[in-house]
Structure 1
Amino acid sequence: MSDVPCAGWRAGLYVGVMTLIAMRTSQPEHPLYVGGTGLTWGVGIVLGPALEKDSVSLSWAGAGPSTSTCLLAPSVLRSISFCCRARILDPGVALKERSREVDVVGAAQAAAACASKTSEGSSGIRRSKKEKTSSCKKPMDSSSSPDYKALFLREVALRRRVEEQRELERRRREQAEDRQRQAEEGQRQERERNQQTTFEEFIQSCHRLLSRPLRVEAPSRSTTGTIPSPTGKYCPTRLRFWGDCSVRQQEIYNSVLRYLQSDVVAPRLFSPIVELEGLGRRFARRPISSEQDLESYERFAVEDHVHDIIAELCKLPEARKEFQLGNGIRFDNHANALDDVEGGSANGQPSTSRPSRPDQFCIHRTDGNTTTLLTTVEYKPPHKLSVENLRAGLRPMNFWEEVVKPETIPTEEKEKLTYNAERLAGSVLVQEYHVMIQEGLEYSYVTNGLALVLLRVPYDDPSTLDFYLCEPNMDVCADDDSTFRQPKTAIGRVLCICLMSFSSTPRSQEWRNAAQAKLHVWKTNFEYTRSQIPEEELKRTPPRSEYTSSEYTGSEYLPSSSPVRTAPGRGRRVPTRSQVNCAPPDTAPRSESMDSSDSDSQAAWGRKRGFSEVASSPPTQRLTRENHTRNSQDYRSRQHANMFCTQRCLLGLQQGGLLDDRCPNLRFHQQGGQGNRHLINTERLVQLIKQQLDTNIDYKCTPMGRCGAYGAPFKVTCAAYGYTVVGKGTTSRLWKEVSREAEVYHILQRAQGSAVPVFIGAIDLAKIYFLHGAGEIRHMLLLGWGGEITTALENGSALRHEISKSVKEIRSLGVLHQDLRPDNVLWNAELQRALIIDFHRSMLVRRPTAKRARSLKRPAYGADMCEAKRLRVR
């Protein structure tokens, strides 16, 4: 056989075998690959010496003695690899990998063959063609045979290094991919943390980052303040579980979800997670140890977020209309300006004791520049009012008979701890109930940061206080996302009670006075009650204070025909809490109305209704019915659109003169006639207004404007004759100073209607008008409307001239004002004069002799004072 055909045949055989192995295998450890490689080397070892060739796997394949022939196999395999990359031939990944292996092995063997041939010397090169041909058939001499074992081991080592290199590269690729995925995940999380959140994301994040980590300082390290003396407070006769609270809040929360958490694409409207994380870190550094800490936590962790949610609802016309939101909500804290010291006790009689009531924490509805009280909040830090005491102390009961009235204290330890819990929980509820009665509120709540007690005073039974205890960190199942579609978080509870308050109508002053006349009065305050309990008892946990649920499964419902159950005794614990942790929200309690005459009846306590029953009454219909009922009794619904009488009209009334044709109430003054004179005088007008307010203090008596330091302005209309004037209302505490104005106005008789408003008289109210931000209004000065405050006008030379003119006029009559602030100077467009008001700080000065002589024609000062006393109707 010639060299070329022999070499081609052998190279082709080698390429074919190795290609076949590569195509059939994909892993070096595959049996076919291992077997094929072993067969190749075995044949080479056997045939190599016989054929007298130096190479192993290439020898039997017949690469030939020439260098070009030895390199033929690697070149062919490289061509195959090139075809695979060019997709001319695509046998798969296995062939590509194996072709590279064969290429490397073949190249190494080709180099070894070339080195072996070079060592033969020049004699081998000059062999004849015949010897070369026959050499293919002669066996190799044993003395010139290569070390096949060494070659084999070298080949194995080479392959191992190749595999190790490939494995190293694979691991590096995987690590790079992992780093890339981690970087991308980090970027995604960072984007999510910095982007605005949806409503559900916002609620979940606030609960996870702000509510769950909340910590309480140990009592030994907590602050203690002063203990004020107890004062009389309106006290409920009964405590009753608020059965339908959960259902009503769920209805409202569903409406909020419908507006803010769309099933398609929920809008991102609220604070990003990174902002909430920063807030959570600040709270984590400082556990709650004082009322100030609790107030700060509630403000930044709850109230500000409720404000943001309602602000977004206000941007939606339908939501704004449904919830009656106005321009939104505002959280404030303040004390009543005129009641720094309480002017009277709860029974309506003046009191000289200092008050125990702290600053109020109020929630207002805003409408432009005006605000309306929605509800109030009572904060008590958890180291003073523990969750355990709330659990053990709150239950349906005749509170007055079972807690307040008994004078004996139990001696048995467990009963004593239960007694303490009921007194502590009851005291804080009474403190807030007192405010609810005074302010005419339907809803309110008490919180210690870890728990909330939602409160409601029924319109038709003000002696009953409904309560509902919530514990957000226990009620919420953090692993169940569906829990956050229920109002169980702290923000959800406060949001719903605020939205419920938007739809509630404040109770009238008549309702308040009627309720106060029938309610018990408990002389107490929380700090005083707590100070009466020994320290070692405060540290103990009362019995039956474990977390329990107030919501039951359907099998526990009582049938409608079930007999009435009496209120549970102190020895039996009745669940009074919101739904148990992670329990399915398929049911909710519902209480029925209780006859006010049956103080012990608690049949409604055990009777429950499911969500399906409540759902049969759509929330919009229920709200409509409730609003219709309330609006029919709403004292604010009575329109008080009367315009103020003119100064000339009231001056004519005071002096028995003519009617003013420009007075907007002229036809009411004339009583259908055509006369041009007043039909009554100022004394009769004061009597009529007093009788009217003593009969119904809400009728034609409306607060207006801002409360001053000593009084609050009202619009007051005499229903019989249409005279409409300003009533400056004040408290019993301030009346001694404010009543001095009546004396001053009589001294300024000649300046009335020119430099000061016309003074009508003074009245003492038989009923209390409790004005939010002012206190209990019990007295009034009646004057003509002075005009607009000058702060809203341009302070030009003409205005300054008129002010100076009025000041000189009252100074000429012997009065020095001493408090000429802008709020005490009014501009009267009718008179085109500046009128001076608020003379409670004024002084009487000696007038010049000439002016005093001219005033002798008018009633003397003593006569003025007699007239003042005569006009002050009591």
Structure 2
Amino acid sequence: MAEKEIEDLKKQLKEARAREENERREKEEAKAREENERRKNQRTTLAEYLYNCHFDLYQKLRLAGPSESSTGLATSVDGKYYPRWLRPWRAFTDSQRQEHFDDIIRICGERRVFQQESTTRDNGINFERKKADLTFINGIRNFKDLNEDIGAETKTGRGKQQPDGGGIRTGIDENESPAFMYDYKAAHKFAVEDLEAALERETLFMDVYEWAQTDQYKTDSTLRTKEREAARITMALIQVFNYMLWYGVGYGYVAAGKSLVLLYYDRAEPLVLRWHLCVPDKMVIRPTAELHVEQVSQTAVAQLASFCLLSLRSQALTGRPLKDAMDQAEGILKKWKREAYTDPVTPQESDDTDSSSSMPSRGTDKTFACDESPVARKYPLRSKSSCKDSTAPLESRDEDEEGGAEGYQRQRGAGASVNKGEKDSSRKSKDKGTGGSAPAPTKQYCTQACLLGLKLGRKLDSRCPNVLYHGVGGNTRHPIDAQELTKLMSEQLRQDPYGSCDALIGRRKYGSSGVLFKLELARFGYTFVGKGTVSARPTRLEHECSIYQRLEKLQGDVVPVHLGMVSFRPGYLLPGGAYVIHIMLMSWAGVAMDTTLSNLEWEVQRSIQTIYENGVNHQDEREPNLLWNAERCRVMVIDFDQATVLPPPKHKRLLGHVHAGEGPHAIRKAINLLFPDRPETPHAGQLVGHYSDEGWGDVVFTVSHDLDTNKTVLVGPREEATFRHTFVLEHITGDYWLVKAAMLGNSRYTDKFFSAKFVAGWDF
């Protein structure tokens, strides 16, 4: 074979191999593109999702510059508690963060249940096109807004009263309690380098306190520029620290731009606030070919998830434990611009006496009792946790408590630390206890018949679950009356506001004007509810009491039994720092209505109408204020703080005619009084008259004739907030008419309307 032919063959072979390689490469690229598209549009694992969030969301955030935001100091913290020492939260940094993230990864596994990559990327593009923004909607209640004496929370000089938000734990029993508090700060006020420099200063709080007292701080421009950043950071930390104290939680954080400062406070070392700085940009810099869990655990979402899981290990303090903890704070902590830490104490990181034993008490020797350390304690993974932006009964038989306004366990586990001082002090405080106190109410609620009998001096109700506690010496009558019950309850609350008294906040039993309590009169076992307010002058509560007095005939049937009002000081401390000092006592109304009941709407209208007929317009007929009472088999109405008393009827003489019992003659007189100029034969048109029933004013009647049925009817519509009644005067035969009352949305007629006065044939 000629050499030229050989060369041609080699060339052809080379070209064939090149074509084959090119085809293979194109197939691989097509397959890769297909796989990439499939991956982008398929659900992701947790690790993949966190990875995508970091690069497609977190790194796309564009933050406003200093020129677009205020440049002053943070909200005033004057008069608020501040810690002495600021120390690293090494337990979280070294172990807890990774351990909890590993738990999350283990639970989620490789299940693809999170958003696909394409969705995350699209969200990131939206972030990139506009500067990030935050809307502060307050969902964390401090209950000070119930105070009628304060016109607005934002009074000049009062400082910020509520956190921007918090994590809310929802237990298996649906009881809610806070897990942590947080605040947002403008990114330009918290540059990473300033945060790092400030947090490394163990004496930051004392240093800034000293600077703030000097004239040099106010006039020296160099110092003002340098130290103002530290002052902003200090005030932000103090703010969240106080939220943590008053809400009874050990965890909080400050979010500033792309940085998070996670905070932990162990009341066993009450002078120390611990921190962990989360700056993912420094830890997760660029995407990698392979996804590493260690890298993902450093992202902002992963670290915050670990923080949230850790916070579930401890219960928020409420009631007496919260009060004892705040008494401890008052005795040990100083207040900003009021007192400085002046005694010479050398901080000793590993010494368990570095805080509480070194500081002199200022008026209290009470100690806070921790339960087991979170390191040893297991958190309930079945609990639900949620973050809410800024806006429990002990026995199963009381699980559906619903007795008042719209609608915490007692101990908290102290957080752990790698330091010996943290562990030992936690163990010591655990053993000390809180001292003797009456338990939370455990009895079932007394029946309506029981408390109504107490008020009216009747016999005991044998069906009341607490009847054996009421009887004294075999007496079949109540041992006390409502006035004596109110007096005894007032004395009991003055002696111990937290004994046999439990705020039902965890069940969301609070509203615009009050917080619901479960109360138990220890001496006689009477168990009922109370609506508490923090106002020094409880105008709205007093108004509600007057409405209940107006509806006295309906108590125990349509509305709860009103037992009186008690006042006691210093009061009952609520999460957030407000004190309840007035409580209105009443019977337990019932549970949330079962929306599947076929005649529920009619039952609601029946109760509302009965109240109206007794001279009261409720004006707030929302579901939380309409409860089902199984004992009375009807809807019971609560919350009368917005109710108004109706004016008396204008034509009282008509009332006498209607009630005179004169039969058709009285009816004829009533019709003539209502419609003196009526035609002999009704025609379509409008007739205006006054109806006489107590509490009613003008009523407009319309006469119309139906040509199809050849019926002439007299219709009187009356509009209310949520319902309407239609009164029909129907022609029966000859000169006889029948009056019926129909409920809107219900074809059922009732012959009991207007006390069954117009149920016979009328000689029109």
Of the structure 1 ranges 451-460 and 649-658, higher mean CA displacement relative to structure 2 is found in 649-658
Q: Report whether the alignment pairs 1:391 with 2:196.
A: yes
- What pairs with 1:835-846 in structure 2 (closer than 5 Å)? 835-845=636-646
Rounded Cα–Cα distance in structure 2 between residues aligned with 1:208 and 1:228: 31
Which residue of the partner structure matches residue 182 of structure 2?
377
Q: Secondary structure at the match of 2:610?
A: helix
Match of 1:806 among 610, 623, 629: 610
- 8 Å contact 1:393–1:418 — kept in the other structure? no
- Specify whether residues 258 and 734 from structure 1 end up closer, same or farther in structure 2 by C-alpha distance, changes over 3 A only: farther
| Deviation, structure 1 residue 499 | 0.8
Which residue of the partner structure matches residue 291 of structure 1?
134
Amino acid aligned to 2:86? R
Normalising to structure 1: TM-score of the pair? 0.57
- Specify whether residues 233 and 443 from structure 1 end up closer, same or farther in structure 2 by C-alpha distance, changes over 3 A only: farther
| Deviation, structure 1 residue 469 | 1.8
Amino acid aligned to 1:688? L
Amino acid aligned to 1:489? T
Q: Report whether the alignment pairs 1:665 with 2:508.
A: no
Q: Report whether the alignment pairs 1:210 with 2:57.
A: yes
Q: Report whether the alignment pairs 1:717 with 2:527.
A: no
More helix by share: 1
- 8 Å contact 1:210–1:279 — kept in the other structure? yes
- Specify whether residues 476 and 404 from structure 1 end up closer, same or farther in structure 2 by C-alpha distance, changes over 3 A only: same
- 8 Å contact 1:668–1:722 — kept in the other structure? yes
Q: Secondary structure at the match of 1:724?
A: strand
Match of 1:689 among 466, 484, 489: 489
Which residue of the partner structure matches residue 213 of structure 2?
407
Which residue of the partner structure matches residue 118 of structure 2?
274
Which residue of the partner structure matches residue 361 of structure 1?
165
1:697-748 deviation per Cα after TM superposition (whole angstroms, max 9, x unaligned): 4433131454222223221112232111111122328832222112333344
Match of 1:490 among 300, 308, 322: 300
Of the structure 1 ranges 445-454 and 632-641, higher mean CA displacement relative to structure 2 is found in 632-641
| Deviation, structure 1 residue 181 | 2.5
Q: Secondary structure at the match of 1:499?
A: helix
Rounded Cα–Cα distance in structure 2 between residues aligned with 1:166 and 1:335: 77
> How many pairs are equivalent?
573
- What pairs with 1:287-686 in structure 2 (closer than 5 Å)? 287-288=131-132, 290-292=133-135, 334=139, 336=141, 339-340=144-145, 356-357=160-161, 360-366=164-170, 367=172, 370-395=175-200, 397=202, 401-404=206-209, 406-408=212-214, 409-410=216-217, 415-476=223-284, 484=294, 487-517=297-327, 518=330, 519-522=333-336, 566=346, 594-598=354-358, 619-620=375-376, 626=413, 640-670=441-471, 673-686=473-486
Q: Secondary structure at the match of 1:721?
A: coil
| Deviation, structure 1 residue 235 | 1.9
| Deviation, structure 1 residue 451 | 1.4
1:288-325 deviation per Cα after TM superposition (whole angstroms, max 9, x unaligned): 3x434xx8xxxxxxxxxxxxxxxxxxxxxxxxxxxxxx
Amino acid aligned to 2:107? Y
- 8 Å contact 2:146–2:513 — kept in the other structure? no
Rounded Cα–Cα distance in structure 1 between residues aligned with 2:566 and 2:572: 13
Which residue of the partner structure matches residue 300 of structure 1?
none
- 8 Å contact 2:536–2:581 — kept in the other structure? no
- What pairs with 1:231-242 in structure 2 (closer than 5 Å)? 234-241=80-87, 242=89
Rounded Cα–Cα distance in structure 1 between residues aligned with 2:23 and 2:314: 62
1:669-710 deviation per Cα after TM superposition (whole angstroms, max 9, x unaligned): 236x42223333333333433344444444331314542222
| Deviation, structure 1 residue 809 | 5.2
Amino acid aligned to 2:102? N
Which residue of the partner structure matches residue 759 of structure 1?
562
**Which structure has the greater CA radius of gyration?**
1
More strand by share: 2
Q: Report whether the alignment pairs 1:189 with 2:36.
A: yes
| Deviation, structure 1 residue 494 | 0.9
Rounded Cα–Cα distance in structure 2 between residues aligned with 1:634 and 1:436: 24
Rounded Cα–Cα distance in structure 1 between residues aligned with 2:601 and 2:443: 34
Rounded Cα–Cα distance in structure 1 between residues aligned with 2:490 and 2:56: 57
Which residue of the partner structure matches residue 102 of structure 2?
254
Which residue of the partner structure matches residue 403 of structure 2?
none
Rounded Cα–Cα distance in structure 1 between residues aligned with 2:208 and 2:72: 25
- Specify whether residues 437 and 795 from structure 1 end up closer, same or farther in structure 2 by C-alpha distance, changes over 3 A only: farther
- What pairs with 1:113-124 in structure 2 (closer than 5 Å)? none
Which residue of the partner structure matches residue 15 of structure 1?
none
Q: Secondary structure at the match of 1:376?
A: strand
Q: Secondary structure at the match of 2:80?
A: strand
Unaligned runs of 5+ residues in structure 2 are: 339-343, 361-372, 381-411, 415-426, 657-764
- Specify whether residues 344 and 633 from structure 1 end up closer, same or farther in structure 2 by C-alpha distance, changes over 3 A only: farther
- Specify whether residues 762 and 403 from structure 1 end up closer, same or farther in structure 2 by C-alpha distance, changes over 3 A only: farther
Normalising to structure 2: TM-score of the pair? 0.65
- 8 Å contact 1:683–1:761 — kept in the other structure? yes
Amino acid aligned to 1:234? K
| Deviation, structure 1 residue 775 | 6.1
Q: Secondary structure at the match of 1:732?
A: coil
Amino acid aligned to 1:492? A
| Deviation, structure 1 residue 180 | 2.3
1:807-857 deviation per Cα after TM superposition (whole angstroms, max 9, x unaligned): 25532xxx44444445434443323454443232333455577999xxxxx
Rounded Cα–Cα distance in structure 1 between residues aligned with 2:285 and 2:197: 23
Rounded Cα–Cα distance in structure 2 between residues aligned with 1:772 and 1:394: 28
| Deviation, structure 1 residue 623 | 7.7
Amino acid aligned to 1:596? S
- 8 Å contact 1:758–1:783 — kept in the other structure? yes
- 8 Å contact 1:362–1:377 — kept in the other structure? yes
Rounded Cα–Cα distance in structure 2 between residues aligned with 1:457 and 1:618: 13
- Specify whether residues 843 and 201 from structure 1 end up closer, same or farther in structure 2 by C-alpha distance, changes over 3 A only: closer
- Specify whether residues 215 and 823 from structure 1 end up closer, same or farther in structure 2 by C-alpha distance, changes over 3 A only: closer
| Deviation, structure 1 residue 335 | 5.0
- Specify whether residues 487 and 160 from structure 1 end up closer, same or farther in structure 2 by C-alpha distance, changes over 3 A only: closer
- What pairs with 1:80-229 in structure 2 (closer than 5 Å)? 102=1, 105=2, 156=4, 161-220=8-67, 222-224=68-70
- 8 Å contact 1:726–1:785 — kept in the other structure? yes
- 8 Å contact 2:50–2:296 — kept in the other structure? no
Rounded Cα–Cα distance in structure 2 between residues aligned with 1:660 and 1:769: 31
| Deviation, structure 1 residue 638 | 5.5
Rounded Cα–Cα distance in structure 1 between residues aligned with 2:148 and 2:272: 26
- 8 Å contact 1:727–1:783 — kept in the other structure? yes
Unaligned runs of 5+ residues in structure 1 are: 1-101, 106-154, 296-331, 525-563, 569-588, 601-616, 853-874
1:316-372 deviation per Cα after TM superposition (whole angstroms, max 9, x unaligned): xxxxxxxxxxxxxxxx95253854486789xxx999977634663222233476533
Which residue of the partner structure matches residue 535 of structure 2?
732
- 8 Å contact 1:333–1:362 — kept in the other structure? no
- Specify whether residues 188 and 826 from structure 1 end up closer, same or farther in structure 2 by C-alpha distance, changes over 3 A only: closer
- 8 Å contact 1:806–1:835 — kept in the other structure? no
Rounded Cα–Cα distance in structure 2 between residues aligned with 1:515 and 1:373: 16
Rounded Cα–Cα distance in structure 1 between residues aligned with 2:36 and 2:436: 55
- 8 Å contact 1:440–1:509 — kept in the other structure? no
Rounded Cα–Cα distance in structure 2 between residues aligned with 1:337 and 1:726: 21
Amino acid aligned to 1:256? I
- Specify whether residues 638 and 468 from structure 1 end up closer, same or farther in structure 2 by C-alpha distance, changes over 3 A only: farther
